[in-house]
Amino acid sequence: MLIPPRRSKVEKMKYEGNNSPAASGINRARGRPMKRRPELKLPNTIQRKREKLLQQSLRAAVTNNPEPYELSPLEALPVELIQQIFFYSLEVNLPRASSHIAAVLSNPSIYSALILFAYFQEDGESPVEEQLFLPAHYRVISVEDKIRLQQSILSCQWCDVDLFKSCMPNLSRLQMIQAWHRETKAEAELDTSECPQGPQNPAIEQRNNQGLQPFAARPPSITDIEVLERHFMAKASPAGNDFQASDGQFGLSAYTMLNSLSQGSQAVRLFGPTGHGNYLPRIVLWRSYLGYSSPKPFHKMVDGCASIIGTRILPDHILEGNPSWDKPKLELLMLLRQGARFFHPVHEFERRHLECSPGALYEGMASAIKSHNLDALLVLLEIHFDCMRDPERLSDDRKTPHHIAVLFTSPIPVALFHLACEQPYPASSFLLSPLIREGIDSIPLDDRILTAWAVRHSDDRVAGFLLRHMEGANDYGKYGEPVLFWNGSQTRTRPQDPPFPDTSFTQQIGYLERDVIVL
């Protein structure tokens, strides 16, 4: 098929002109007429400018003439009534309902009352100094409400370590008042008619420190606060508190403490953070009794301690330490942990151990390892030993011998050991040391990463111990003790200069213990 010849423009115009409808005599309908200029659509730029000017004028009109805000029926109530509704509901999310309610409830006295409700443990028989709860009206709340309130309070931004410390004097006084009434009732039940010395001059049990004699006599009244605090040893001397937490770094104090303890020297005893006025997280309890000789002597002895902070749960964000551990976060965690140490439930059905998530605990350990914060790692490992220990669980499929490790419901993940190996030396050695003391059962005997680290640093004492353990020597110099480590402390062994400090996690951190009295 041949292609038709190409026409020039002139020929093309002639051809189209001859074949147009007008030339061919065909009549067509008239098209739509053009719009007038006012009817045409404005260009987009002009339209956007007009819209912007209109919005500005409307905004200015609203700003100059604001409509009055109508309060809801709840917001229209008196301030005192809104506060009491808040205290009876204990709904921490109520201030988020409106800005007006948030302004009414945003008061330090309200925050303090919530902390007292959440952490004060009443004994159910002694009177309570209710004015300390003002502006709230004191009432007894259930254990479930306490747990829910503790979890909600610790999630609020206003609940920081400074506010918590400011509440410790009132928490301590509430417990001292209860202990004073119990002690008074117990002494009233004793027949002291034949005692050569009365309750105001008691004898101290020989196994107790005789230096406690000035503290033993019960104060005649609860109005003398200084005498009451001295009797229950509620405060520490300002010079005695040497607690220093590292600010998110692998501090020199941690290196010095580990070196001094591993060399057998006695480290300076600390007792952790305290509240405002150097209030301790516990008070000392006394027990009165009559001797058997005639005439019957009136004796007193220290009968344990009572916590002023009834910690029942540790929320995840308190344990995770995100994005990294710092001094305020660590101090708050230590105060809560100390409160749980001396906490004794009133009823047998109440929970004794802390509630915490193993996953959050391990996230916090990983954060401490990455930031080389040995203080935070020790605190978390001590919590792990207390909360995850399960001595009743038996397992026969473990590679580690039964006489080596403590059984845990949630053992230390081996990934934390690998993370510690990734840190530069010597920080990796100091971080692996407490992990081994707590989680030796988690170490696979054929782990390549741990073996490579131990071979690479074979001159390190911790690496040498790790190699011997992974070789399966099973000779730890034990004297028939049930386990090798208990709370991070190596049990009684033959003199062989172990690479680990001769102390428990509790002592290494500097916590107060049940049998330690701070004068």
Kindly report, residue by residue over 63-105, the tens digit of the pLDDT: 666 666 778 888 888 999 999 999 998 888 888 888 888 888 8
- Residue 269's pLDDT band, with cuts at 50, 70 and 90, is very low
Residues 484 and 403: beta-carbon distance below 8 Å: yes
Using the predicted structure, report yes or no on whether residue 250 has a pLDDT greater than 60.
no
**Measured between alpha carbons, how far is 379 from 244 in angstroms, rounded to an integer?**
13
Q: How would residue 496 be classed by pLDDT, with cut points 50, 70 and 90? A: low
The answer, yes or no, to whether residue 245 has pLDDT greater than 80, is: no
Q: Which two tokens mark 172? A: 């301590």
Mean pLDDT for 139-162 is: 90
Q: Indicate the pLDDT class of residue 354, thresholds 50, 70 and 90.
A: confident
Indicate if the alpha-carbon torsion angle 113, 116, 119, 122 is positive or negative: negative
Q: What is the DSSP string of 310-356?
A: ---B--HHHHH-SS---HHHHHHHHHHHHHHHT---SSTTS--SPB-
Residue 352 has pLDDT above 70, yes or no: no
Amino acid, res. 265:
S
Which is nearest to 184 in space by CA: 121, 131, 228, 132? 228
pLDDT at position 394 is: 43
CA dist 95 and 122 (Å) reads 28
Which has the closest alpha carbon to 195: 292, 298, 288? 298
Is residue 286 left, alpha or beta, with left meaning phi > 0 and alpha meaning psi from -120 to 50? beta
- Beta-carbon count within 10 A of 107 CB: 13
Residue 258 has pLDDT above 70, yes or no: no
pLDDT at 254: 33
Least confident among 91-105, 316-330, 333-347 = 333-347
Rg for the chain, CA atoms, rounded = 37
- Residue 136: pLDDT above 70? yes
- Count helices and strands (H / E) in the chain: 20, 5
User: What stretch of H or E contains 303?
Assistant: strand 298-307
Is pLDDT of 331 > 70?
Answer: yes
Phi-psi category of residue 248: left, alpha or beta, with phi > 0 → left and psi -120 to 50 → alpha = left
pLDDT at 253 over 60: no
Q: What is the pLDDT of residue 377?
A: 95
Matching residue, tokens 């010849």: 5
- Taking the C-alpha atoms of residue 110 and residue 101, their distance in angstroms, rounded to an integer, is 13
Over residues 447-455, the mean pLDDT reads: 92
Residue for token pair 């501090």: 251
From 3-7, 9-13, 46-50, 253-257, the region with the lowest mean pLDDT: 253-257
| Edge-to-edge strand ranges of the sheet holding 203-204 | 203-204, 298-307, 282-290
User: Residues in the chain, how many?
Assistant: 519
Interaxial angle between packed helices 252-262 and 427-439, expressed in degrees from 0 to 180 and rounded to the nearest 10: 60
How high is the pLDDT of residue 266?
A: 39
How many angstroms separate the CA atoms of 497 and 269, rounded?
Answer: 23
Beta strand 203-204 with 485-486 is unpaired
The structure tokens 């061919």 sit at 24
Distance from C-alpha of 221 to C-alpha of 121, rounded to nearest angstrom: 22
Least confident of 186-190, 223-227, 424-428: 186-190
Q: Whose CA is closest to 428, among 475, 372, 357?
A: 372
Decide: 372 and 420 in contact? Cβ < 8 Å: no
Mean pLDDT over residues 359-368, rounded? 94
Secondary structure of residue 204 in the 3-state scheme: strand
AA identity, residue 7: R
- pLDDT > 70? residue 402: no
The more confident residue out of 328 and 20 is 328
> Cα separations (Å) of 37 from 33, 51, 327, 430?
12, 21, 74, 85
pLDDT band at 485; cut points 50, 70, 90: confident
Instruction: Assign 117 a pLDDT band (cuts: 50, 70, 90).
Output: very high
- The predicted model gives 480-503 an average pLDDT of 73
Token pair 């330490």: residue? 321
What is the average pLDDT value for the chain, to the nearest integer? 78
Indicate whether 259 pLDDT > 50: no
Q: What digits encode the pLDDT tens for the residues 192-239?
A: 666 655 555 565 555 555 556 666 677 778 888 888 888 888 888 765
The pTM of the whole model exceeds 0.85:
no
pLDDT at 251: 33
What percent of the chain is modeled with pLDDT above 70? 70
| Residue 481, pLDDT above cutoff 80 | no
pLDDT at site 272 = 73
Determine the pLDDT at residue 452: 93
Lowest mean pLDDT among 35-49, 159-173, 389-403, 433-447: 389-403
Residue 178 has pLDDT above 90, yes or no: yes
Tokens of 323: 């994005």
**Cα of 295 vs its chain's centroid, Å:** 53
Token pair recorded at residue 392 = 């009743």
**What's the pLDDT at 372?**
94
Question: In terms of pLDDT, which residue wins out, 292 or 289?
Answer: 289
